[in-house]
Amino acid sequence: MQYISAAAIPLMIFGIVAFGMSRGIKTFECFIDGAKDGLETSVRILPSLIALLVAITMFRASGALEMLTSLISPLLSVISFPKELAPLALMRPISGSASLALVRDLLTQHGADSFLGRCASVMMGSTETTFYTLAVYFGCVNMKDTRYTVKAALLADLCGMIASVYVVRLMLG
């Protein structure tokens, strides 16, 4: 299992580069071209990352985060969902940069190898910025009524958040 996880990336890179070469693609030039896109994205998200990481770090330092999580913890303990992950679960569907900042915060606070760090990573990797996606997709066609879309998407997100905790507990301990 560990081996598949570790081998997935090298195998994928091998497959893509070999496939590209077999098709006569200028692999190096393509790579450089694509890497520029990555550079652009990084620069583009920096301002919002600064704004949100400042807000989240302040929120934790002020003691407000602690108060909020202990307020909702009785509710979460019913489904044995760690209260430290509640802010991330709430923020994930709303803002990608904010959840990125929260995961980073959880990883530095508890460590990437901790149970919480692993749960946060899986939650981040297996869900999307639901509201942003819906706004972009329905916005481009001027839809007035999106019917059951938000309900279905948020239900799926909720299941994903809870499943993350259980799957990490089961597979990584």
Partner 1 sequence: MINYIWGGLMTVSIAAAFLFGRVEEVANAAMQGATEAVTLSLSLLGVMCLWTGIMKIAQHAGVIALFSKLLRPLTRFLFPRLPRDSEALDAIVMNMVANIFGMANAATPLGLKAMKELSRISKSQVASHEMCMFAVINTASLQLIPSTVIALRQGASNPYEIIIPVWIVSVITLAVAVTAAKLFALKE
CB closer to partner 1 out of 16 and 75: 16
Which residue in this structure is represented by tokens 């497959």?
Answer: 15
Q: What is the rounded CA–CA span in Å between residue 80 and residue 75?
A: 9
Separation of alpha carbons 116 and 73, rounded Å:
15
Contacts by 146-153, CB closer than 8 A, 24 or more apart? 153/93
Residue of 70, 75, 77, 137 interacting with partner 1 (CB under 8 A): 137
- How many CB atoms neighbour CB 105 within 10 A? 19
105 and 60 Cβ atoms separated by less than 8 Å: yes
**How many chain residues are in contact with partner 1, going by CB under 8 A?**
101
CB of 42 to partner 1, least distance (A): 5
Residue closer to partner 1, measured from CB, 54 or 75: 54
Tell me if 164 contacts partner 1 by CB under 8 A.
yes
- Using CB under 8 A as the binding rule, whether residue 116 contacts partner 1 is answered as no
Token pair 């606070």 is found at 109
- Cβ of 139: how many Cβ atoms within 10 Å? 9
Per-residue binding letters, 59-98, with partner 1 (x by CB under 8 A): xxxxxx--x-----------------------x-xxx--x
Shortest distance (Å) from residue 74 CB to partner 1: 21
At closest approach, how far in Å is the CB of 81 from partner 1? 14
Tell whether residue 115 is a contact of partner 1 (CB under 8 A): no
